[in-house]
């Protein structure tokens, strides 16, 4: 016979109960727990509510807790949670704006997924990703870096995002990966920026890599129409290192 002391039984029972919970009920329960007098319950609610809620007023509650709660650990959790929640809402708004304009093609869906990955990676690194409203000029977004106090410092890098295997081909004579600059004005535009432009490519396996194309064009000249892509993994750790390299 199972008892309450059987941890495996309790975990299984809790998992089954959670599956049967309606998301809106769970979201409401977590929102109520944000006002709990029990700090353990409050912190758990703060850490998880972003997975279940899309309500803008939850962001307001998290912001208030982050600045007014008397417990430092609670304020720290709320600060991190509100930043992630704000990015989630911003991404959903961006997706809705694109989706409302016209149905997404497969290629647009892949590009949009990469935008989401850029949000995620930048947030994990402690910095800010912002998509651009119009990418016709070869810039899809930017990452603005924060200083040691967590404040945006104005330093940034720009991103050109590409998703799919068709953007890179393997050159037969040396096996190098080649990215073709289809629009010549992009190379000139990338060179004109005060901050570096990074080419970020996601392949069908899910691997995401980046390369500093500004640096490459400075060496090769703006007349070049092909880039020998030598990508580094696009991860939170690499974004952290970017601040030291570019900011």
pLDDT tens by residue, 106-145: 555 677 788 888 988 998 898 989 887 655 567 889 999 9
Q: How confident is the model at residue 161 (pLDDT cuts 50, 70, 90)?
A: very high
**pLDDT (tens digit per residue) in 1-55:** 444 445 555 455 554 444 455 556 777 888 899 998 998 989 988 888 876 677 7
Residue that wins the pLDDT comparison between 89 and 101: 89
Closest by CA position to 198, among listed 217, 216, 211: 211
Distance between start and end Cα atoms, the chain:
62
**Distance (Å) of CA 11 to CA 23, 40, 42, 48, 115:** 19, 19, 21, 18, 36
Quick one: tokens of 123?
A: 């947030």
Domains of the chain: 1-103 (no CATH), 106-247 (3.40.1350.10)
Strands 152-163 and 168-170: unpaired
**pLDDT (tens digit per residue) in 176-197:** 999 999 888 888 888 888 899 9
Residue 188: its pLDDT value, please? 85
């Amino acid at each position: 016979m199972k008892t309450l002391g059987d941890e495996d039984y309790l975990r299984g029972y809790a998992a089954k109960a959670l599956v049967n919970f309606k998301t809106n009920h769970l979201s409401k329960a977590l929102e109520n727990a944000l006002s709990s007098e029990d700090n353990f319950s409050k912190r758990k609610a703060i850490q998880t509510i972003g997975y279940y809620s899309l309500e803008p007023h939850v962001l307001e509650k998290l912001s208030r807790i982050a600045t007014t709660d008397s417990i430092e650990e609670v304020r720290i959790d709320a600060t991190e949670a509100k930043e992630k929640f704000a990015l989630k809402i911003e991404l959903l708004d961006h997706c809705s704006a694109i989706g409302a304009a016209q149905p997404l093609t497969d290629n647009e869906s892949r590009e949009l997924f990469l935008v989401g990955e850029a949000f995620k990676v930048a947030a994990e690194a402690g910095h800010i990703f912002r998509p651009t409203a119009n990418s016709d000029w070869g810039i899809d977004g930017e990452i603005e870096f924060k200083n040691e106090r967590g404040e945006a410092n104005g330093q940034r890098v720009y991103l050109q995002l590409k998703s799919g295997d068709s953007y890179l081909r393997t050159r037969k004579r040396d096996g190098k990966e080649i990215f073709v600059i289809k629009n010549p004005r992009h190379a000139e535009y990338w060179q004109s920026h005060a901050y570096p432009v990074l080419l970020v490519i996601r392949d069908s396996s899910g691997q995401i890599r980046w390369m500093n194309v500004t640096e490459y064009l400075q060496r090769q000249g703006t007349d070049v129409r092909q880039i020998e892509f030598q990508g580094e993994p696009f991860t939170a750790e690499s974004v952290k290192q970017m601040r030291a390299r570019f900011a």
